[in-house]
Structure 1
Amino acid sequence: MARNKFMSADQAVGLIKDGDTVALVGGGGGLMEATHTFRAVSRRFLSTGYPRNLTVLHALGIGDKKTEGMNHFAHEGLVKRVIGGHWVWSPKMQEMARDEKIEAYVLPSGCVMQLYREIGGQRPGLFTHVGLGTFVDPRHQGGKMNASAKEDLVEVVNLGGQELLWYKSFPINVAIIRGSFGDADGNISLDQEAANVDVYAAALAAHNSGGIVIAQVRTAVDVNSLPARSVRVPGAIVDAVVVDPDQRMSYDLPYDPLISGERRGPTPLDPPEPLNIRSLIARRAYQELTEGDVINFGVGIGEGVAKMVAERGEVGRYYQTIEHGTYGGSLLVGLLFGFARSASAMIDGPSQFDFYAGGGLDTAFLGFGELDEAGDVNVSKLGGLTVGPGGFMDIAQNAKKVVFCGTFDTKGSKLQLGDGKLTIAQHGHVRKLVGKVEQITYSGKQALKRGHKAVFVTERAVFNLENEGLVLSEVAPGVDIRRDILERMDFMPLIPRDPQLMDSAIFTD
């Protein structure tokens, strides 16, 4: 008997029941986001008041920092609980967490993706070292981001003499995923998408939990017209196919075969960034590269290193990766972080995080919000606002070397750059090198235990994490150590007799 799983977005979201646990797939900037279907959920709730009290789960950040993505679920009554890897793309949901209007949890993005596989396999959960010693460790906060979050989603266990975290399984009632092409049988192709992320894993978790899978695609095709190799989600686990002919690769980008991996070609480069505080930090961080490294760039200042690699024509000197599952190519930045042109390979997100968790990365370039004397870093909760780490924890805890890139302070600093030196006209009002971080997203103790290296690059100083403590290893030319560094920190670093000067060329326009 012929099947027909095509239905409208309104019909599909009508299958969602009160109290359901809903897995969402997507990345910031509209990457792999089923925007048309998300809007239908919001529209249904605002017009009928249903569904209510959903638990929403997402690995990566989803939205545009304005109205799209997770913002469509940010209605009182629609959502009871959110378990998210990265929240900054949805200011409305951040506010609901801050105001205790939902139960707010954060788990590492890679752990969420891998947990989908465990749920799909009907296993008790994910057992991993990722997160030990951080805020997701139940001896700290267990991933609970506000007072309303009371359930223990993570436990510490000992298996074969090894201490691990147990991220517990639970049923997924609905998965909302996205692809490029779909047929009436429910077969879904991702051929014209920018990444695979956790599409299959989320669908598997919902189907094998007895739930439903809603797949949004741009184009409907005939049954048996999709090559088997192109089908990334088989029709056997898909219940509804929603067609949105206006679906875009990102909010602003309709379609680019260089980004989908269907073609390779020259990539237009942005003009080199002029000398400023961000490019200055990126220049120093770039010096930590070693030819042949397998590397990862995080969102923020670390992106500047990726731009330098591209500008200098050095893409082939390193194996570039991003957590969405992409290797190689020229990485895009800003709202298009997670996209790459002319990639060399695209794999599923959970498998990419397996690679990271196993120590496959040589060097990672990541940001930091706060740093303390133990080498602990906070990027996940700043000023009481839930931010979430995204893939930061999975990457930082396991890379052989992490280069943290960030300004020394923030809010109001005024710097004069050029002529091979740095002059500080006014210090920032907010210190970032603090006595104790608000939340531990990266554990210096765990890094030292695992024999990993951490370097902290700012515009005026470079620090290294050693067994003895945090060492001030380099100082910018023109900077007074006591006035501009030590008196602007909440702790005293270890200082060698003669700290090196940062390369003056970094400070030359």
Structure 2
Amino acid sequence: MRQITATQAAALLRDGDTLLIGGSGGGHAVPDALLAAVGERFRTTGMPCGITAVHPVGLGDGRTRGAGHLAQKGLLKRVASGTFVNSPGIARLALDEEIEAYTMPQGAMSQLMREMAAGRPGLLTKIGLHTFVDPRLGGARQSARAKEDLIEVVQFRGEEFLFYKPYHVNVAFLRGSAADEDGNLSMEHEAVTLEMLSMAQATRRMGGIVVAQVRRIVPGGSLHPKMVKVPGILVDAVVVDADQWQTYETQDSPAYSGHLRVALEDIPRLPPGPRRIVARRGALELFEGAICNLGSGISTGIANVAAEEGVLHRICLTNEQGNIGGAPASGNEAGAAISPDAQVDQPYQFDFYDGGGLDLAFLSFAEFDAQGNVNVSRFGGRIVGPGGFINISQGAGSVVFGGTLTAGGVPKAVERVEQVTYSGPYARSRGQRVLYVTERAVFQLGEAGPELVEIAPGADIEADVIAAMGFRPRVSPGLRRMDAGLFADGPMGLATRLAERPPRPALNRLAMAQAAE
């Protein structure tokens, strides 16, 4: 193992290379010092030109860090990522048609790293069918310059699948907490572990160079073998950044890394308003032992509600980056979790999601339409991308989409979404239960699209709901008022409600077996 500087690492990139980058969101295991060095090299020398950047998760602080270091005209030829939301500079290049831009399901990209590591031809999956990722609806393209077909529709054993093509990697930038003198990498202080191992294996298999950024070097043989996430045989060089923070906002949180358990009930109570109402109505879908995912935005409030109601320990919240249990972080810290029970590598978390492991998914919507389609990936002149949304929404047993009915007076329920990130018709064909929860009405996906099933107390159907929509929904003959407790200031008795609902089938089966003894 060789120790080099960040400047020397940046010099490894040649014009036209493909750079594979580890990390997640707001600085979680992001090799930021290496990316900054690449950006600085281009500013001073004009090299490297026309590189392809591949990273399953969006990277950045919402301003200039992460992938934002690469957001310079001429440096990038193509970007393939789960989302651009963390790096507005990249989104701007895509909108200005300066790069070939693709945003793909985060889980598919994560799992593709594993396929590449094994030398398999690519990833075969149903994830992304009938969304903008499907080549018949756009092929994940977010710029007109993106001409190459990176995804194909294929028939296998009489069924339709999407085939995600692999990448040829020249250089990989990864990150760990420490490296020993033999190059073995540990990640004990990181908030996530992601697919660092698969990335290193894939790059090495293709003859590429693996560079890891770490906070410190430790003596050879001092790392417990079970703490090593990437073995030294896969690491070509290490760059030490002694000032490496755990995330862009947090220098070191032992609650994120699992070194300290904190009282989850201390999560702050949501203030009165639409966000609180939507989160509380979504929480009514919870049941004993429910395994859930909380998406970004308004849906993260489910954790706050569960904590306030004292039921957080009776459900299991997860996030796609690999945290199981605890309370998923929100805002720029999304991707981490406070006091998780377990942390698994991201590809395995998506295996669980894709296989139907989630009982409930609580996701936000930017807009939904008359067919029940949902858009979170491109709207209002913004390119966001799907992140883990497509995997999560397609794989969950039930999905609760949350959001306000309007934004700045503009309807978010529209005749036709700008980009299909979730297909209502495909969900109907698979028998998935879907709710669209707003602060003044609740809709359920029916045969003719979203059907109005609940309305806020005192609200008028025509004046307060349908007039605020871009289409006329079917009104259920069993229309009822939303629970008045959702709008009250105090607790709504969620603990009692959970006790009255059937638990997860597995828990119910165990209880029956014990009772029979």
TM-score between both structures, scaled by the size of structure 1: 0.94
Aligned match of 1:196: 193
Aligned match of 1:505: 485
Deviates more, 1:119-128 or 1:24-33: 24-33
Whole-angstrom distance in 2 between the partners of 1:466 and 1:128 = 26
What secondary structure sits across from 1:496 in the alignment?
A: strand
Answer yes or no: is 1:214 the counterpart of 2:194. Answer: no
Whole-angstrom distance in 2 between the partners of 1:81 and 1:6 = 29
The code of the aligned residue for 1:274 comes to P
Whole-angstrom distance in 2 between the partners of 1:281 and 1:46 = 46
Q: Structure 1 residue 263: deviation in Å?
A: 3.4
Q: Is the 8 A contact 2:268 2:304 kept in 1?
A: no
Q: Is the 8 A contact 1:116 1:205 kept in 2?
A: yes
Whole-angstrom distance in 1 between the partners of 2:280 and 2:440 = 13
What secondary structure sits across from 2:136 in the alignment?
A: coil
Please list every run of 5 or more consecutive structure 1 residues that lacks an aligned counterpart in the other structure.
412-427
Aligned match of 2:375: 378
Aligned match of 1:415: none
Aligned match of 1:151: 148
Aligned match of 1:401: 398
The code of the aligned residue for 1:249 comes to Q
Answer yes or no: is 1:118 the counterpart of 2:115. Answer: yes
Q: Structure 1 residue 13: deviation in Å?
A: 1.5
Q: Structure 1 residue 234: deviation in Å?
A: 0.7
Whole-angstrom distance in 2 between the partners of 1:301 and 1:71 = 25
Percent of pairs with identical residues? 47
Question: RMSD of the TM alignment (CA)?
Answer: 1.2
For this pair of structures, how many residues does the alignment match?
Answer: 489
The code of the aligned residue for 1:341 comes to I
What secondary structure sits across from 2:203 in the alignment?
A: helix
The code of the aligned residue for 1:80 comes to K
What secondary structure sits across from 2:204 in the alignment?
A: helix
Q: Is the 8 A contact 1:53 1:81 kept in 2?
A: yes
Check 1:268–1:13 CA distance in 2 against 1; reply closer, same or farther (3 A cut): farther
Aligned match of 1:390: 387
Q: Give CA-to-partner distance per residue, 1:63-116, whole Å, 9 cap, x none.
A: 111111111010011101011101111111111100000011111000001111
Q: Is the 8 A contact 1:113 1:202 kept in 2?
A: no
Q: Is the 8 A contact 1:108 1:392 kept in 2?
A: yes
Q: Structure 1 residue 498: deviation in Å?
A: 4.7
The code of the aligned residue for 2:429 comes to K
Whole-angstrom distance in 2 between the partners of 1:313 and 1:248 = 32
Aligned match of 2:364: 367
Check 1:271–1:257 CA distance in 2 against 1; reply closer, same or farther (3 A cut): closer
Aligned match of 1:449: 429
Please list every run of 5 or more consecutive structure 2 residues that lacks an aligned counterpart in the other structure.
490-517
The code of the aligned residue for 2:414 comes to V
Q: Structure 1 residue 487: deviation in Å?
A: 2.0
Whole-angstrom distance in 2 between the partners of 1:271 and 1:468 = 40
Q: Give CA-to-partner distance per residue, 1:261-284, whole Å, 9 cap, x none.
A: 133343572431221111111111
The code of the aligned residue for 1:503 comes to D
What secondary structure sits across from 1:248 in the alignment?
A: coil
Aligned match of 1:419: none
Aligned match of 1:414: none
Aligned match of 2:492: none
Whole-angstrom distance in 1 between the partners of 2:297 and 2:166 = 32
The code of the aligned residue for 1:362 comes to D
Whole-angstrom distance in 2 between the partners of 1:310 and 1:328 = 13
More helix by share: 2
TM-score between both structures, scaled by the size of structure 2: 0.93
Q: Structure 1 residue 171: deviation in Å?
A: 0.9
Q: Is the 8 A contact 1:87 1:94 kept in 2?
A: yes
The code of the aligned residue for 1:213 comes to V
Select the residue among 277, 280, 287 that pairs with 2:277: 280
Select the residue among 2, 27, 30 that pairs with 2:27: 30
Aligned match of 1:78: 75
Whole-angstrom distance in 2 between the partners of 1:449 and 1:209 = 41
Whole-angstrom distance in 1 between the partners of 2:398 and 2:243 = 42
Q: Give CA-to-partner distance per residue, 1:404-450, whole Å, 9 cap, x none.
A: 00010102xxxxxxxxxxxxxxxx1x221111110100011111122
Answer yes or no: is 1:340 the counterpart of 2:337. Answer: yes
Select the residue among 248, 251, 255 that pairs with 1:254: 251
